[in-house]
Amino acid sequence: MGIGFSARSFKLLEELRGNNNREWYHAHKAEIDEHCRDPFAFLLDCLTQELSDHSIRLSGGKQTMFRLNRDVRFAKDKSPYNHHISGTLTRSGMKNEQGGIVYLRLDPTGGRLGAGSWGLNAKRMGAIRDHMLKDPEGFKSVVESLSEAGLAFDQENVLKNMPRGYNQHADHELAWALRMKNFAVHRPMKRNEWKGDGIVQMVVDFVKATTPVLEFGLVSVEKQM
């Protein structure tokens, strides 16, 4: 049984982006489920099986997918729905984890894969920064491993200045990494990469390539505890 993403999957997300209202959504909800959400949940199930003996046990499924409905209470954009499908693979198999996760997103342009930690509080991000400073060679090994796989840490969301408590490291060789707000890696995805069963191996390869990032981040937090 194939994963099930097709040209119609992306067309529906394009149409949702252009018709972001309750009337259009409810008229097409069954089709969105069939071509977008159900194949996505099946993909997460397949990945769970493929990664069952991985060094970091990651799992996911329908329960680790995010809702299309948006919380617009404090948002400038009042569009009621996201026009992307997203979900995670986590150690607990639940979606409320911030650290050591793999993120998948399907959107009208294709989407992306991500691995690492997002939205950490100052204490947990501080633990990762401290680990970088205490084990710079270990961190550089992670960077080199990513480079060999054609990947790199996300540099789009970084601080302009050193984080509080780290000013004395402004000239450190890893100052660029200490300024990162997230400890994460992204891989952009093209539409065609989602089509066919090859998407499973593609994500598995990404997980394996980014495992050093997950391990480094998890060890950082564990040392803090």
- Count CB neighbours of 52 within 10 A: 10
| Structural domains in the chain (count) | 1
The verdict on residue 146 lying in a domain is: yes
Per run of 10 residues, the mean pLDDT along the chain (length 225 residues) is: 87 97 97 97 97 95 96 89 97 89 97 95 94 97 98 95 97 98 97 94 98 90 59
Lookup result for tokens 């949702």:
16
Task: Tell me how far apart the alpha carbons of residues 174 and 130 are, in angstroms, rounded to a whole number.
Answer: 11
> Whats the size of the chain, residue-wise?
225
- What pLDDT, on the 0 to 100 scale, is given for residue 33? 97
Task: Tell me how far apart the alpha carbons of residues 51 and 204 are, in angstroms, rounded to a whole number.
Answer: 7
Q: Which domain holds residue 68?
A: 7-224
For the CA atoms of 79, 26, 63, 9, what is the dihedral angle to 10 degrees? Answer: -90
Which of 141, 115, 127, 138 shows the shortest CA–CA distance to 58? 115
Which of 140, 21, 125, 14 shows the shortest CA–CA distance to 70? 21
- What pLDDT, on the 0 to 100 scale, is given for residue 179? 98
- What pLDDT, on the 0 to 100 scale, is given for residue 224? 57
The verdict on residue 1 lying in a domain is: no
- What pLDDT, on the 0 to 100 scale, is given for residue 222? 63
- What pLDDT, on the 0 to 100 scale, is given for residue 99? 82
Task: Tell me how far apart the alpha carbons of residues 32 and 90 are, in angstroms, rounded to a whole number.
Answer: 25
The verdict on residue 53 lying in a domain is: yes
The verdict on residue 54 lying in a domain is: yes
The verdict on residue 101 lying in a domain is: yes
Task: Tell me how far apart the alpha carbons of residues 219 and 112 are, in angstroms, rounded to a whole number.
Answer: 26
Which of 28, 157, 39 shows the shortest CA–CA distance to 81? 28
The verdict on residue 112 lying in a domain is: yes
73 Cβ contact list (under 8 Å, min separation 6): none
Lookup result for tokens 């495992």:
211
Give this prediction's pTM: 0.94
Task: Tell me how far apart the alpha carbons of residues 9 and 46 are, in angstroms, rounded to a whole number.
Answer: 19
The verdict on residue 2 lying in a domain is: no
